[in-house]
Structure 1
Amino acid sequence: MQNQKKLSGEERRQQILEFLKSETQPQKGGRLAEIHQVSRQVIVQDISLLKAAKHPILATPQGYLYNQPQGPEDKYTSIIACRHTKADMEEELIILVDHGVVIKDVTVEHAVYGEISGQLMIKNRKDVERFCQLMEEKQASLLADLTEGIHLHTLEAEDEHALIEAKQALQKSGILVEEETD
């Protein structure tokens, strides 16, 4: 989709929006920059403007994704509390995806900033592998490092049973945070 004439910023943003809506997989900023013959930084700015205009675009480790709203009858969701170190991150993610669960995000409660979230959209082992590799390459810290390992995940599954089994597996591995009894 090479542009014949130079587009205005508004025209380019509209094309980016339509492109993201038509794609089912996340799209890297570099690819969008190449398509529109602009820098990746221009794409980052365009995405920020689209998000500010209330377009539901998620910035995930795999790229940008238009968040198609789905009704509650389509999927089951749950928010879980977990605690682990970076060494156990891959185990946690694999347990979830192996039970057919999508890890939509990670959230921590920061003492100063309040809630801090990152969009993940991890759906399968290949996504887990890419995420772990990216964390290693960038020498990135977990958001959970800010909260002594405690974090929340929003999970999504096709059926409620998958969520229940995934939670049981996390509980068995010692990753799921459970209520403390006095």
Structure 2
Amino acid sequence: MEQQVKMPSAKRQQLIIQKLKESVQPISGSDFAKLTNVSRQVIVQDVSILKAKNEPIIATSQGYLYLNEQTDNKKQQVIACKHDASQTQEELYLIVDHGVTIKDVIVEHAVYGDITASIRVSNRKEADQFVKKIKATEASYLSALTNGVHLHTLEADSLVKIEAACRDLKKAGILI
């Protein structure tokens, strides 16, 4: 049986940047681990080192993304929502069905201040994956820290789409 050779860290980090720059879809740590014959935890450390070197890499629920400057024509708006965990999927659907991306979730913590997590959900499939991952890992939504109150940064190619999503969220009693 032939043993797989682990890729050296400098080469691995260079490969991570190259692959992320080439991809428009998130790439998981597990995928990078298989590609380089190391553990997922080693990839997590590599990404932390790259971030410390000011590489614009973000971790989403679907994997890692390299933030390119291609969002100049995108409109953004931060909205405030409140709901319980059972309404999360409905909230995500109401937003993405209008062609709007949910970039992140933000909660205000009494000790830590603002806690922001990138989620990058753009369609129903990604919404389903996000909810499924929360359930599978038995993780709590960040909004559990704030009795359901949270912010989202929304992004779309027009403010009209964001406004339409907000109208539907308001009708559902989710938008504050």
TM-score interval for Structure 1 and Structure 2 normalised by the shorter chain? over 0.9
Q: Secondary structure at the match of 1:68?
A: coil
**What is the deviation of 1:80?**
0.2
**What is the deviation of 1:5?**
7.0
Q: Does 1:164 align with 2:163?
A: yes
The aligned length equals: 173
Q: Does 1:151 align with 2:150?
A: yes
Instruction: Report the counterpart of residue 180 of structure 1 in structure 2.
Output: none
Instruction: Report the counterpart of residue 76 of structure 1 in structure 2.
Output: 75
Taking a change above 3 Å as real, the CA distance of residues 71 and 27 of structure 1, as seen in their structure-2 partners, is: closer
CA distance in structure 2 between the aligned counterparts of 1:169 and 1:97, rounded to whole angstroms: 11
Amino acid at match of 2:48: S
Using the size of structure 1 for normalisation, the TM-score is: 0.91
Instruction: Report the counterpart of residue 66 of structure 1 in structure 2.
Output: 66
Instruction: Report the counterpart of residue 129 of structure 1 in structure 2.
Output: 128
Post-superposition Cα deviations, 1:137-167, rounded to whole Å, max 9, x if no partner, equal: 1111110111111101000011111011111
CA distance in structure 1 between the aligned counterparts of 2:165 and 2:123, rounded to whole angstroms: 14
Q: CA RMSD in A?
A: 1.3
CA distance in structure 1 between the aligned counterparts of 2:23 and 2:63, rounded to whole angstroms: 11
CA distance in structure 1 between the aligned counterparts of 2:71 and 2:90, rounded to whole angstroms: 30
Instruction: Report the counterpart of residue 84 of structure 2 in structure 1.
Output: 85
User: Any stretches of 5+ residues in structure 1 without a counterpart?
Assistant: 178-182
Instruction: Report the counterpart of residue 13 of structure 2 in structure 1.
Output: 13
Instruction: Report the counterpart of residue 109 of structure 1 in structure 2.
Output: 108
Post-superposition Cα deviations, 1:7-33, rounded to whole Å, max 9, x if no partner, equal: 431221011111111011000111101
Instruction: Report the counterpart of residue 37 of structure 1 in structure 2.
Output: 37
CA distance in structure 2 between the aligned counterparts of 1:6 and 1:111, rounded to whole angstroms: 43
Instruction: Report the counterpart of residue 176 of structure 1 in structure 2.
Output: 175
CA distance in structure 1 between the aligned counterparts of 2:61 and 2:40, rounded to whole angstroms: 15
**What is the deviation of 1:71?**
4.7
On the 8 A contact 2:20/2:64 being kept in 1, the answer is yes
Using the size of structure 2 for normalisation, the TM-score is: 0.94
**What is the deviation of 1:70?**
2.7
CA distance in structure 2 between the aligned counterparts of 1:133 and 1:57, rounded to whole angstroms: 24
CA distance in structure 2 between the aligned counterparts of 1:78 and 1:67, rounded to whole angstroms: 18
Identity %: 47
On the 8 A contact 2:7/2:38 being kept in 1, the answer is no
Taking a change above 3 Å as real, the CA distance of residues 148 and 6 of structure 1, as seen in their structure-2 partners, is: closer
Post-superposition Cα deviations, 1:10-61, rounded to whole Å, max 9, x if no partner, equal: 2210111111110110001111011111111110000000111111111111
